[in-house]
A and B are shown apart, each in its own frame.
Chain A
Amino acid sequence: MSITDYRINAQIRVILVRRGIDLSRIEYGVTNSVVYVRGSVRTFSIRQSVDPSRDRLEEIEAMMRLEKALRAIPGVRDVIFQMDHLVKVGWRWKPR
């Protein structure tokens, strides 16, 4: 791992913390400028919604925003996800 990987790794944590993502449910790492994220993107915020379909939609939107933020970190070559509840098909996120 280069110093770039180390810095990317630290930036990922900053992004996750600022988005209120529960860090106990997510693993992340960087090798050769490729970011790996696995687990769940449950946010720390309490959601008032009681509609599961709306929750899923919000999770997908959160995932899209997270992916965009991770890809915007300088030096990132690719981002690989292995999420518990969501899967990326082509360019779209879908529930598993």
Chain B
Amino acid sequence: METSMIALPQTWPELSTEVVGLFESEALQHPTWADIQNRWGLALLAGGRFGEARAAFERALERNPRYAWAAMNHLQALALLGETEAARVRLADAPWPSQGCHEFAEAFIALCANEAFPQESWSLLPGDTSGRPDFVRLRVALLRTKDRKLAESAWQSARGAFPEDLPDWANPLNPAPDMPYWLLSFVPGLYQLMKDASTWEARLGRTVDATTFAYCMPAFWYDLGAAWCQRGFLANLAADEEGALIAYKRAVDASPTSPEPWIALAYLWSAAGDLTQADEALRQSLDRAPAYADLHYQRGLLDHARGDTRAALRSFRAALKQNPNYIVARMQEAESLFKLEDWAGARSSFLRVVNAGLESVDIWLRLGQSEEKLSHPAQAEVAYRRAALFDPQSALPFFHLGCLHRDRGDREKAKRAWKRFLSLAGDSEEAAAIKAELNEGDA
């Protein structure tokens, strides 16, 4: 799928019946989850059901009174319903998700109430300081000026500043008669709804619809990084690695501080076999998300691949510090310790792996060898027998059992184990030496 060929839809991105149903069903299943109630509120808002949306935001705020985005959404629902005074009460006491939101909300209430917005407040609106195009402020200004020519010019500037071409439904000079879509375009919370709708559509297998919603995201909140990440995610799903790489690189450019695109790039470059790029992406990811266990794990894999077992061990342990139940990381820790000949450490880690239920011939053999190095022959024998039990067709457990019995001076048991080994792997590298040893013993 070539995502960059799909243009921003020029009609309001209406949620499909299935997606609305999914949001509603979640809200009914989880009435006490604030974020799910908030999302359901946004879905209702997008469908023009402002009264029901307000109730959903109130449920979210009952559960979490400091939920800043729910407070913002609630205020906007009140303003859209024409409850200007209630919206202003909310404005006075709401926690705000980010700088400039208070002024933004104040302007939104004024727009809905068709009131003049104080000229001195314009400069406080988001857009001036964050470096993103100030289309938000321009659009707010449009209706207040009542100057059609100036409004037209400002609208064109806003469109020019918007990389995907600002959609017609967001144009306050040409408002749709039945729904205040241009006002809804000032509801930043709908940004998250568009992302969620995109993901649901992808899960329903409708990639075109999924892409449409991903493209709508920046129309509500100018976070191009997250929008590009969503496109990268969709490209990944469609097995379009090249498209995913482009999207995530654009996301890095748009949101340099976000870990998400770097993490995705680390995986993509690893899959492409570009260890240098993967290394850099992992370093950037870990700088931004040091508590993400899988990143430490991936770092360990890369260190291991480069032959730096000590660095790998440090990374696997960092992963385990974040998630002590990460059993595959525990297995890699055990492997690293085994390679470093830390037999007690390897034994301890392998035991934790098998005790968690993950076993294989290799794991049992490694455990057995560690036990042998620690002069625990009885425990080594148990481990080798477990290896043989795990896969009765595997020859190596019998090879190690034979060596163990020989070292303990039990020739008969050694011979039996080795004969079994030879019956399973008579042509193997070790077979010639075993045959020689058996003949020597018989002589």
A-side residues, CB < 8 A to B, are 1-3, 5-7, 9-11, 13-14, 17-18, 20, 27-29, 31-32, 34, 36, 38, 44-46, 78, 80, 82
Contact = CB atoms under 8 A, between A and B. Distances in A.
Nearest to B332: A29
A31 to B, nearest CB: 5
28 contacts: A1-B304, A1-B305, A1-B335, A2-B305, A3-B305, A6-B270, A6-B275, A6-B305, A9-B270, A9-B301, A10-B271, A11-B271, A13-B267, A14-B241, A17-B236, A18-B239, A29-B328, A29-B331, A31-B332, A31-B335, A32-B362, A36-B358, A44-B237, A45-B204, A45-B205, A46-B204, A78-B360, A78-B361
A80 B364 CA distance: 13
Given A18-B239, A27-B327, A46-B204, A6 B271 contact: no
Nearest to B201: A46
B78 interface: no
Contacts of B360: 34, 36, 78, 80
Nearest to A11: B271
Contacts of B362: 31-32, 34
Contacts of A29: 328-329, 331-332
B interface, over-half SS: helix
Interface string B327-341: 111011001000000
A17 B202 CA distance: 13
Contacts of A3: 305
Interface residues of B, number: 33
Contacts of A17: 236-237
B328 A38 contact: yes
B358 A82 contact: yes
A8 B298 CA distance: 13
A64 B312 CA distance: 32
A77 to B, nearest CB: 9
Given A3-B305, A9-B301, A10-B270, A46 B22 contact: yes
A89 to B, nearest CB: 14
A7 B271 CA distance: 7
B331 A36 contact: yes
B357 interface: yes
A interface, over-half SS: mixed
B268 to A, nearest CB: 9
Nearest to A32: B362
Contacts of A32: 335, 362
Contacts of A38: 327-328, 358
Given A6-B305, A17-B236, A46 B271 contact: no
Contacts of B312: 1
Nearest to B270: A10
A1 B327 contact: no
A92 to B, nearest CB: 17
Interface in B314-330: 326-329
Contacts of B22: 46
A71 B335 CA distance: 22
B331 to A, nearest CB: 6
Contacts of B275: 6
B228 interface: no
Contact of A10 (B203, B267, B329): B267
A3 B302 CA distance: 8
3 tightest CB-CB pairs across the interface, nearest first? A1-B304, A6-B305, A29-B328
Interface string B194-238: 000000101111000000000000000000000000000000110
B328 A46 contact: no
A36 B356 CA distance: 13
B441 interface: no
A26 to B, nearest CB: 10
A14 B328 contact: no
B131 interface: no
A40 B327 CA distance: 14
B234 to A, nearest CB: 12
A1 to B, nearest CB: 4
B375 to A, nearest CB: 25
Given A27-B328, A31-B331, 8 more contacts: A1-B304, A5-B305, A6-B275, A6-B305, A10-B267, A10-B273, A34-B360, A44-B202
Nearest to B273: A7
